[in-house]
Amino acid sequence: MSAISRVAKHFRRSFRWAFGMTVVLALARVQPAYAEASASDRATARGLAGEGYAALKQKDYRTAEDRFRRADELVHAPTLVLDHARALVGLGRFGEAYAALDSVIRETLPPGAPAVWKRAKKDAAVEIEAVRPKVAWLTVQVVGASQPQVEIDGRALPATGLGERLPQTPGELHIVASAPGFVTQSIARSLGEGDEKRVEITLLPIPEPPPEVVIVQPPEPKPAEHTHEDRGKGRRTLAYASFAVSGVGLALGATTGILWLKARDDIKSSCGGGLVCQPQSETEQERLEADKRRYDTFGTISVIGFGVGLAGAVTGTALLLTQPKESVEAEPKRASIHPYVGPGMLGVYGAFQ
């Protein structure tokens, strides 16, 4: 019998043994963790494991992966995790398969653990070596937020996985990092078999929106004798409100303008005095991209702030200059008569004041 035939025979025998013992252990109360599972859960896990084993024999890896994963969620057993890893290998999801096999190897068995569990640990140690060359490695680090949420290809990364070297399936990976109050960042990285990469993501706070310009409608005119005076007061109120909005806009523009200059200096510092350069590593590229995003964000807000400030100043000035002048009633003119005496003359003259 050839070596390949002996390995295949051993592999099939391991499958039959693992499946049979898994069913037995799912029914038996061999440890407290199993004792806590209800009879219904154990029965459901036993049925799922049977369906998974049948699917694995037919190379229906998608069904096998689903059944073994669900069975282990109900009643945990290293044998279920091992078969789940085998289904993942069949699907080409080598990163997840490696993590599952590694968890079986690292699991601490309780005293008196069934022999099939010990056998599962030994089988996992052998099979992981065949998977290792097909795995890529990725380390994800997030700065800027204290409790970020990270997803890799739609799967949530546990908080304990941040900063850790984790196995991944080679290919194009899509990484999304988010946190409340921060701008969500999404990046893509391509990894090949055996590659090892580190990704650092900087989360920036969501910018405060610019202040809204509120136009206050003038009050309703009062009776005729007061309409002219009230109209002038209403326009003055609008003018003062416009100047207030102008002040807020100018303050916002100045503040973000300073931050824009700071971001511009950071880019120049990274690029040796210029605004455009070619990073020498992925870490430098990500830092430069973060600086450029800050540069663009603060520049946009600064322009908006100065625009609002200028608009408010122009509006206030126009309201003051076009304000109607107060009318001054003309006093009635008075007539007066004065006598005059001159050489050879005698008479009177009149005047209106």
pTM to 2 decimal places:
0.51
Whichever domain contains 79, its CATH number is 1.25.40
pLDDT tens column, 20-35? 444 444 334 334 444 4
Instruction: Classify each residue of 228-264 as buried b or exposed e, where b means 16 or more C-beta atoms within 10 Å of its C-beta.
Output: eeebeebbeebbebbbebbebbbebbeebbebbeebb
AA letter at 74: L
Helix axes 94-106, 115-131, angle to 10 degrees: 140
Measuring CA to CA, which residue among 18, 31, 28, 34 is closest to residue 110? 31
Check whether residue 16 and residue 91 sit in a common domain: yes
DSSP secondary structure letter of residue 311: H
Check whether residue 8 and residue 94 sit in a common domain: yes
Q: How many CB atoms lie within 10 A of CB 71?
A: 28
Check whether residue 187 and residue 233 sit in a common domain: no
- CB 77, CB 22: distance < 8 Å: yes
pLDDT tens column, 236-280? 777 677 667 667 767 776 787 787 677 777 777 777 666 677 766
AA letter at 100: A
The CA angle 207-294-259, to the nearest 5 degrees, is 80
Alpha carbons 68 and 53: distance in angstroms, whole number:
8
Q: Is residue 212 included in any domain, yes or no? A: no
User: Looking at the predicted structure, is the pLDDT value of residue 322 above 70?
Assistant: yes
Paired with 143 in beta bridges are 202
Q: Is residue 327 included in any domain, yes or no? A: no
- CB 68, CB 47: distance < 8 Å: no
- CB 201, CB 283: distance < 8 Å: no
- CB 15, CB 53: distance < 8 Å: yes
Alpha carbons 303 and 254: distance in angstroms, whole number:
9
Range of the structural domain that residue 178 is part of = 136-202
Q: Is residue 89 included in any domain, yes or no? A: yes
Check whether residue 233 and residue 307 sit in a common domain: yes
Alpha carbons 67 and 352: distance in angstroms, whole number:
114
Q: Is residue 337 included in any domain, yes or no? A: no
Q: Is residue 214 included in any domain, yes or no? A: no
pLDDT tens column, 27-57? 343 344 444 678 888 899 989 999 999 999 9
Alpha carbons 231 and 223: distance in angstroms, whole number:
12
- For residue 346, what pLDDT band results from cuts at 50, 70 and 90? very low
Structure tokens at 276: 């455009």
DSSP SS3 for 39: helix
Check whether residue 15 and residue 104 sit in a common domain: yes
Check whether residue 173 and residue 106 sit in a common domain: no
Check whether residue 162 and residue 270 sit in a common domain: no
The alpha helices in the chain, defined as continuous H runs, are 3-27, 32-35, 39-57, 61-74, 78-91, 94-106, 115-131, 224-270, 282-321
Check whether residue 188 and residue 69 sit in a common domain: no
Check whether residue 141 and residue 191 sit in a common domain: yes
- For residue 3, what pLDDT band results from cuts at 50, 70 and 90? very low
Structure tokens at 11: 């592999």
pLDDT tens column, 117-155? 999 999 999 999 999 999 999 999 999 888 899 999 888
User: Looking at the predicted structure, is the pLDDT value of residue 188 above 80?
Assistant: yes
Whichever domain contains 155, its CATH number is 2.60.40.1120
Cα of 207 vs its chain's centroid, Å: 13
Check whether residue 92 and residue 140 sit in a common domain: no
Q: Is residue 351 included in any domain, yes or no? A: no
DSSP SS3 for 191: strand
Question: Which residue, 112, 132, 152, sits at the end of a domain?
Answer: 132
The CA-atom distances, in angstroms, between 47 and each of 66, 179, 276 are 13, 40, 62
Measuring CA to CA, which residue among 21, 75, 17 is closest to residue 48? 75
Q: Is residue 208 included in any domain, yes or no? A: no
DSSP secondary structure letter of residue 182: B
Measuring CA to CA, which residue among 71, 77, 79, 64 is closest to residue 33? 77
The number of domains in the chain is 3
The whole-number pLDDT of residue 128 equals 94
Check whether residue 304 and residue 244 sit in a common domain: yes
Check whether residue 117 and residue 159 sit in a common domain: no
Q: Is residue 236 included in any domain, yes or no? A: yes
The whole-number pLDDT of residue 244 equals 77
Structure tokens at 76: 């945990």
